[in-house]
Structure 1
C-alpha cells in the first residue's frame, strides 16, 4: 500500500508520506469549522471526483483552490450527489477514478440517513473502487447535536478517522486534529494543533492554562 499525500505537508510528515492507498478516510468536524480547507487539500493534490450532497456545484467550485503551479483544468471534477440516489452518483464517480485518484463525499450525512444495510453495502463498494485504482475515498462526516443514525458504520468501515475538534474561548479559536484510528499506519499519540485560516498549517502558539 503506497502512501498517497494528503496535500497537507505536516500530516504527510506525521504519517510517513501520507495515507495508505485504497483507504477510506472519515473526516469528522463541526459544521461551523474550517474543515473544508482539509477537503480542499485532499481534492487538489491529485485527480479527484468531488461529490457534493448539500452545497451547489458552483459553490464548491468557487471555493476550491489551485495547488502550487497548477493550471486551471479538470483535475477536480465536482458533481451533485444530492438527488434521490446519492449512492449511485457516488459509485459512478468512483468507478471513473484514474489510478491514484481521490473521491470526496461532502457531506456524508444524507447517505448515512438511508437504510443501514444499503449504506453498509455502499461503503464496501466504494472501498472496492478506490482499492482497485490504489486511490482514496474521503467522507466529510459533520457532527450533529442528535444521534447520527449510521455514523457508527462510517467509523467502523473507515480505515482512517480524522476528528477535527474546534473550541472557542474568549481569546482564541483552537483547532485540534485527533487521529484515533489508522489502519496500515500509526495513529497520532496526541492531538495536532492546526491553524485553519485560508490554508492549513501547524499552530505553533502555546496553550496558556
Structure 2
C-alpha cells in the first residue's frame, strides 16, 4: 500500500520515507521508565484517535495529555483494563472510523489473554485497519515479555524499538526500526531527545 500517514514526528516521517503505510499495525517496544508516551501523544495530533488505556485510568491519560508541552490532540480515551479487556477492546475497534488512529497503551494486558483469542483479536484488528486505512499503535513494555508478545511482534507491520540508557547524568534515547513491511527501514538507529516533544538529538556521540 503506497499511501503514507504521518506519525506527527517530522524527522521520523522523513526517515520512514514519508510516514507509515496506511492500514499498518505498529508495535512500540519501550522501557516502562522511558518517555515513550510522547510518541503516542504526538500521534493524536495528526488525526482522530481512539486511545485505549489498560493500566492508567482514562482520566489519568487525559490529564497527562493536557499537561504535555509538546503537540497533542484530543483523542477519545477509553479504559479497557477491567473485566474481559480483550472483548471490550475488540468491540471498540470495530467502531473505528476511516483513517483513524488506534492506540493501545499498554498492550501487555491484552497479551495476557488466551493465545487463541488474542491471535483472533490481532487478525480482526489487521483486517479492520487495512479496510479503514488507519494506523494501530500497540505500546508494549520491555521486561518480562507476556507469553503472547511473539504474536504481537509477528503480526506488526512495523516495529519501533525505543532504547533508553542512563549513564551518569546523561540519558540517551535511540529508536531502532528492525521491521518495516511496505517500506525500507532505517539502517541505523535514530538518536532522539524526549523532553517536551520527540525530536532528533543533534549532540555529538563521544567515542
Q: Same fold (TM over 0.5)?
A: yes
Aligned partners of 1:43 and 1:76 also within 8 Å: yes
1:30 aligns with 2:31: yes
Alignment of 1:163-202 (within 5 A): 163-202=161-200
1:67/1:167 CA distance change after superposition, 3 Å: closer
Q: Report the TM-score when normalising by structure 1.
A: 0.93
Deviation of 1:34 (Å): 0.3
| Residue aligning to 1:47 | 48
Residue 88 of structure 1 deviates from its aligned partner by 2.2
Summarize the alignment of residues 1-209 of structure 1 with structure 2, pairs less than 5 Å apart: 1=1, 2-64=3-65, 75-144=74-143, 146-209=144-207
- The root-mean-square deviation of aligned C-alpha atoms, in Å, is 1.9
SS of structure 2 residue aligned to 1:100: coil
SS of corresponding position for 2:76: strand
Q: 1:44, 1:67 within 8 Å by CA — same for their partners in 2?
A: no
Structure 1 residue 68 displacement after superposition: 9.0
Find the aligned partners of 2:163 and 2:177 in 1 and give their Cα distance.
11
TM-score (norm 2): 0.93
CA deviation after TM superposition for structure 1 residue 91, in Å: 2.1
Distance 1:104 1:190 in 2: 26
Q: Taking structure 1 as reference, are residues 67 and 125 closer, same or farther at Cα in structure 2, changes over 3 Å only?
A: farther
How many pairs were matched up?
205
Regions of 4+ moved over 3 Å: 65-70
Can you give the 5+ residue segments of structure 2 that lack an aligned partner in the other structure? none
Judge which range, 28-37 or 59-68, deviates more: 59-68
Counterpart Cα distance in 2 of 1:89 and 1:9: 33
Q: Label 1:69 to 1:7 Cα distance change in 2 as closer, same or farther (>3 A).
A: closer
